[in-house]
Amino acid sequence: MTVPTLAVLSCGGTIAAEPDDGGAAPAKSGDQLLEAVPALEGRAHFEIHEVCSRPGFDMRWRDVLAAAELAEDVRSEVDGIVVTHGTDTLADTAYALELLGDLSVPVVVTGAQRRLDEPSSDAPANLIAAVRTATDDRFAAGVHVAFDQEIHAARDVVKAHTSALDTFRSPGKGPVATLTRGDVRIHRTPQRRVSVSALGRVDSAEIPPVPIVHSGTGVGAEEIHRLVRADGTSEDEYPLGGVVIEGTGLGNVTGELGEAIASIAEELPVVVGSRCCAGTTEPVYGTPGGAVTLSEAGVAFAGDLSTAKARVTLALGLASGVDVETLFPDGKAPDTE
């Protein structure tokens, strides 16, 4: 039987961390990480690529773009790609990889909640799950996340718990597949789940700031006025690309915040999502701040995309010259079957 070849793109995170008096920090190289999991031996030939060595909470656009460019460069030479990453922004990076490329080989992102030196570390199991998935050609379309014996679509997955081993979940959707000891059981068709063609190579210097503004009880217009002047530039005079609003429920905001959004929507792209864990935005309410009123003001809606991923979509899309209507078509999710 031919042994597959996998590229491993190492980005740091808890999975590569070691303890230190000043707190745990990424320290292991990709080679050291694989050597620490003897059960991987013989499963594949591994080509290791060091992208960066950063905690998940401090990933930069240039790190994400470097991973995407490496994946594009090696895809014709390997049978699959595994990305090791910190969990805090793992879902962001996985979806960015899906937006940027359409690689035609399995691309699987994984990490760990517990370091290799900690009791009951989940790092070995997650690495093995990622390798099993990346060597399965049924996953050759789209980017997936392997964690705690489940495989999730990059578009749907979120980090749902600060420390639990089953932290990655797909609210309202569920995993694409689950792993047993001897099988990968597919529940939904693995595919690229975005509404735009691959964005390709993006210059990190071209990615504009896209802040997220939260709506909730008592939120007024101050945050919008603090961020954005009437001409659509920031109060600090750096050019904003757009603003993502984390609304409530179906994509509603307070009346005061809604009026502030309407005042900038003609000058700046505004995308409204929901702070709810599952479900889609939908214009139903017509009162001040209601999604019907916001729609009339010209905002776009994130559909069932999380606000974090709406921000990733807007920032990368604008840097690639893609208009907001294409990035967020009618605020609806693409066909997932």
**Which residue shows structure tokens 């603090």?**
226
Per-residue DSSP letter, 252: B
87 is catalytic: yes
State the residue for tokens 């035609």.
104
β-pairing verdict for 17-18 and 25-26: antiparallel
> How far is Cα 232 from Cα 234, in angstroms, rounded to an integer?
7
Residues sharing a CB contact under 8 Å with residue 196, sequence separation 6 or more, in sequence order? 99, 317, 322, 326, 327
C-alpha 191, offset from chain centre: 16
Could you count the other beta carbons within 10 Å of the beta carbon of residue 80? 25
Edge-to-edge order in the sheet of strand 243-247: 212-214, 243-247, 270-274, 300-301
- Give the gyration radius of the chain's Cα atoms: 20
| C-alpha span between 295 and 272 (Å, rounded) | 9
User: CB of 30 within 8 A of CB of 84?
Assistant: yes
Query: What is the distance between the alpha carbons of residues 281 and 171, in angstroms, rounded to a whole number?
Result: 14
> Among residues 2, 14, 84, 87, which one is catalytic?
87
- Note the Cα 138 to chain centre separation in Å: 21
Q: What are phi and psi of 315, to 5 degrees?
A: -65, -50
Percent composition of the chain: helix, strand, coil (DSSP 3-state, to 5):
30, 20, 50
Which residues are designated catalytic? 87
